[in-house]
């Protein structure tokens, strides 16, 4: 018998103590042992050979003893950090049956704790959902499970936006969950449904100083929604007015003359000397990508020029040190400073670039970034 086979047999023997009705002290000792095993890649691979133990971890996530439930949550965070672990737990969720009062549908269990804002388990459950939704190949399957939970997108967004207190979880990791799920056109349709305006509730979080996770997740969500050209007029119009929320994090404390200042959106006029730019490189890049998407149409480009977005981007370019962000900023500025006659098309997405030019431009970008 190989070492792996011996380890599997050993885990099968102790798995009896992972039953919800097992004695509390034995259950606690066993779950701690399993948690330790999930700390290594080899241990996680081993557990994937035992789907029954994975299922029991989901059951124990619902245990009345908080120490046991939290240990199960931490083990599931470790397991779902790998795509293989997420895949195995997704299969279990899709084929779940109630075990008495317990569910083996991890998506439903996690969402329940998140919606309850459980102080001990909501945040770990948000992390599990963030891990599981990261691989884009799982998004549609997870959305199907979301639909079965009965929770509406209105209620999920409301839970995310509601201010917490010391007895509530922060649920910051829901931001990355939204960003991951908004890769799906279905989710984007929910968020941009004009009768609900859910996207409007997310806009203030582009400047949410308390959590980079929440901030980045929402900027990623907005970036994904900006890929849909049909929403651009609505986004830039007075009902949503997305532009100040995308530009303000990129603005610093620079002063402009009255002419330039008066052209800016009101929220970007006369900023204080203490104003700081977004500190996270990835978030700055996503903000620039969002603005670039809004420049796909002639109307969008003209609106950004009218609102003097150029002066904010000009100062950002002087300040920026990251080569990838600098390149994104330069590409956006290049669009805005060109005349529409030079651009020659309404919709930039309709321009077909020959493959040999794509390769050439890609090589030039790589050379710039690595220089």
Q: Is residue 81 part of a domain?
A: yes
Give the model's pLDDT for residue 110.
97
Please return the burial class of 151, using the count of CB atoms within 10 Å of its CB with bins 0-12, 13-18 and 19+. middle
Q: For the chain, give the mean pLDDT.
A: 91
pLDDT interval class at 303 (50, 70, 90): very high
Nearest to 85 by CA among 117, 58, 120: 58
**What mean pLDDT do residues 177-183 have?**
98
Give the model's pLDDT for residue 15.
84
Angle 214-185-358 (CA atoms, 0-180°, nearest 5)?
90
Whether pLDDT at 356 is above 60:
no
Per DSSP, the three-state class of 184 is coil
**What mean pLDDT do residues 281-298 have?**
97
Strand partners, 99: 102
Count of C-beta atoms within a 10 Å radius of residue 20: 16
**Is 316:250 a contact under the CB 8 Å cutoff?**
yes
**Is 126:171 a contact under the CB 8 Å cutoff?**
yes
Give the model's pLDDT for residue 350.
67
Lowest-confidence range among 59-73, 159-173, 254-268, 295-309?
159-173
pLDDT interval class at 368 (50, 70, 90): low
pLDDT interval class at 357 (50, 70, 90): very low
Q: Is residue 153 part of a domain?
A: no
Domain residue limits at 61: 1-105
Counting the structural domains of the chain, the total is: 2
Give the model's pLDDT for residue 10.
78
d(CA 88, CA 58): 12
Give the model's pLDDT for residue 225.
98
Residue bearing tokens 């929440």: 214
Count of C-beta atoms within a 10 Å radius of residue 369: 12
Q: Is residue 151 part of a domain?
A: no
Q: Is residue 42 part of a domain?
A: yes
Nearest to 286 by CA among 341, 329, 330, 235: 329
Q: Is residue 28 part of a domain?
A: yes
Give the model's pLDDT for residue 312.
98
Give the model's pLDDT for residue 188.
97
Q: Is residue 208 part of a domain?
A: no
Q: Is residue 194 part of a domain?
A: no
d(CA 234, CA 300): 11
Q: pLDDT tens digit string along 323-334?
A: 999 999 999 999
Whether pLDDT at 355 is above 70:
no
**What mean pLDDT do residues 232-252 have?**
97
Whether pLDDT at 12 is above 60:
yes
DSSP code string of 216-241: HHHHHHHHHHTT-GGGHHHHHSTTT-
Whether pLDDT at 1 is above 50:
no
Give the model's pLDDT for residue 360.
52
Where a domain ends, among 64, 86, 105?
Answer: 105
Give the model's pLDDT for residue 361.
46
Whether pLDDT at 283 is above 70:
yes
Measure CA 216 to chain center: 7
**Is 198:191 a contact under the CB 8 Å cutoff?**
yes
pTM score above 0.95: no
218-to-36, 122, 162 alpha-carbon distances in Å: 33, 19, 15
Query: Cα dihedral angle (171, 216, 131, 96), rounded to 10 degrees?
Result: 50
Give the model's pLDDT for residue 20.
83
At residue 331, what are phi and psi to the nearest 5 degrees?
A: -65, -40
Give the model's pLDDT for residue 162.
87
Where a domain ends, among 70, 105, 140?
Answer: 105
Q: Is residue 16 part of a domain?
A: yes
pLDDT interval class at 104 (50, 70, 90): very high
**What mean pLDDT do residues 255-266 have?**
96
Where a domain ends, among 105, 122, 147?
Answer: 105
CATH of the domain at 72: 1.25.10.10
């Amino acid at each position: 018998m190989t070492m792996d086979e011996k380890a599997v047999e050993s885990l099968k023997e102790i798995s009896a103590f992972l039953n919800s009705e097992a004695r509390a002290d034995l259950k606690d000792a066993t779950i701690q042992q399993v948690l330790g095993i999930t700390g290594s890649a080899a241990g996680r691979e081993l557990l994937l050979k035992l789907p029954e133990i994975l299922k029991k971890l989901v059951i124990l996530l619902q245990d009345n003893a908080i120490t046991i439930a939290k240990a199960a949550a931490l083990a599931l965070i470790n397991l779902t950090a790998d795509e293989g672990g997420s895949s195995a737990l997704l299969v279990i969720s899709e084929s779940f049956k109630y075990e008495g009062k317990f569910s083996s549908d991890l998506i439903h269990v996690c969402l329940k704790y998140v919606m309850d804002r459980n102080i001990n388990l909501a945040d770990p459950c948000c992390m599990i959902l963030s891990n599981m939704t990261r691989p884009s190949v799982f998004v549609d399957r997870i959305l199907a499970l979301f639909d079965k939970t009965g929770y509406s997108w209105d209620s999920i967004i409301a839970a995310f936006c509601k201010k917490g207190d010391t007895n509530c979880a922060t649920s910051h990791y829901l931001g990355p969950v939204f960003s991951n799920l908004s890769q799906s056109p279905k989710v984007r349709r929910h968020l941009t449904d004009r009768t609900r305006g859910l996207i409007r509730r997310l806009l203030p979080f582009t400047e949410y100083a308390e959590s980079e996770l929440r901030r980045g997740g929402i900027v990623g969500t907005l970036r994904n929604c900006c890929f849909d050209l049909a929403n651009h007029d609505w986004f830039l119009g007075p009902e949503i007015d997305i532009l100040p929320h995308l530009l303000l994090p990129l603005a610093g404390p620079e002063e402009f003359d009255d002419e330039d200042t008066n052209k800016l959106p009101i929220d970007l006029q006369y900023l204080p000397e203490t104003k700081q730019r977004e500190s996270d490189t990835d978030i700055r890049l996503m903000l620039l990508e969002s603005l670039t998407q809004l420049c796909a149409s002639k109307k969008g480009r003209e609106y950004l020029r009218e609102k003097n977005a150029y002066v904010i981007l000009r100062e950002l370019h002087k300040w920026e040190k990251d080569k990838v962000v600098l390149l994104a900023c330069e590409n956006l500025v290049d669009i805005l400073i060109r005349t529409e006659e030079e651009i020659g098309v309404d919709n930039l997405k309709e321009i077909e670039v020959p493959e040999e030019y794509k390769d050439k431009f890609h090589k030039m970008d790589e050379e710039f970034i690595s220089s």
